[in-house]
Each structure stands twice: as structure tokens, then as C-alpha cells.
Amino acid sequence: AQSVTQLGSHVSVSEGALVLLRCNYSSSVPPYLFWYVQYPNQGLQLLLKYTSAATLVKGINGFEAEFKKSETSFHLTKPSAHMSDAAEYFCAVSGGNFNKFYFGSGTKLNVKP
């Protein structure tokens, strides 16, 4: 079975500060992992994905995530936050049946000026 836990439903950072959003997964098979971003009143947009190739994955808008099997984690980072990064971020896992995604509960990122 697959599941995702996102630690912290709300994260607040200052503009220019490091962004770290945490995601831990559970999977009985090698997983595929995803980060999606949702801006207000919009659908989810794919930020990046891990598909068993490189463990450090780079995505759009300067975000990256590192797959750590030993820690069952896939944390999302960005070196310097921008006001436009304020949004809700969702981690998702699929495995076995790769068509079915299991989403975390989401983390709302607030960026302070």
C-alpha cells in the first residue's frame, strides 16, 4: 500500500529564505514520487517527479527534491523563496498501479516580504 505524510500544513518563510517542505512516503514497491503546486483557484500543476533515475530531481521555478530511500523521504527545497511561490504544495506517490496517485494533505507556503 502507498501513502504520503506531509509534515506541517502551513509553512511561512521570508522572501529570499530557504524553502523546505517535507514529505515522507510509504510504499511496498519502488515508488514514483511527485510534487504538485496549486495556486489559488487553480488546478494542480506538476513541479517535479522522481521515477527511479537520479535521486536529486530538479523541477520548474527553481525547486528540487531529493529521494532518500533510507529515510523514505522526498523533501522539496528551493534556495531562495520568492513572493510568487506562495501556494499550496502536494506530495504524491504511486507504485504498483502507477496510474493511481496517493496525495498528501498539502502544505500551504506563505512568503513574507
Partner 1 sequence: DAGVIQSPRHEVTEMGQEVTLRCKPISGHDYLFWYRQTMMRGLELLIYFNNNVPIDDSGMPEDRFSAKMPNASFSTLKIQPSEPRDSAVYFCASSVRGTSAYEQYFGPGTRLTVT
Angle in degrees, CA 75, 69, 22, rounded to 5: 15
Nearest approach, Cβ of residue 31 and partner 1 (Å): 10
**Distance from C-alpha of 29 to C-alpha of 96, rounded to nearest angstrom:** 6
By the rule CB under 8 A, 43 interacts with partner 1? yes
In degrees and rounded to multiples of 5, residue 15 shows phi and psi of -55, 130
Nearest approach, Cβ of residue 98 and partner 1 (Å): 5
Please choose, out of 12-20, 28-36, 54-62, 73-81, the segment that lies near partner 1 by the rule CB under 8 A.
28-36
By the rule CB under 8 A, 70 interacts with partner 1? no
By the rule CB under 8 A, 74 interacts with partner 1? no
Rounded to a whole number of angstroms, the distance between the first and last alpha carbons of the chain is 41
The correct pick among 12, 45, 84, 110 for binding partner 1 (CB under 8 A) is 45
# of chain residues touching partner 1 (CB under 8 A): 21
> Grid coordinates in use for 108?
500551504
Pick between residue 6 and residue 73 the one whose CB is nearest to partner 1.
Answer: 6
Residues in the site for partner 1, rule: CB under 8 A?
Answer: 32, 34, 36, 41-46, 49, 51, 90, 94, 98-101, 103-106
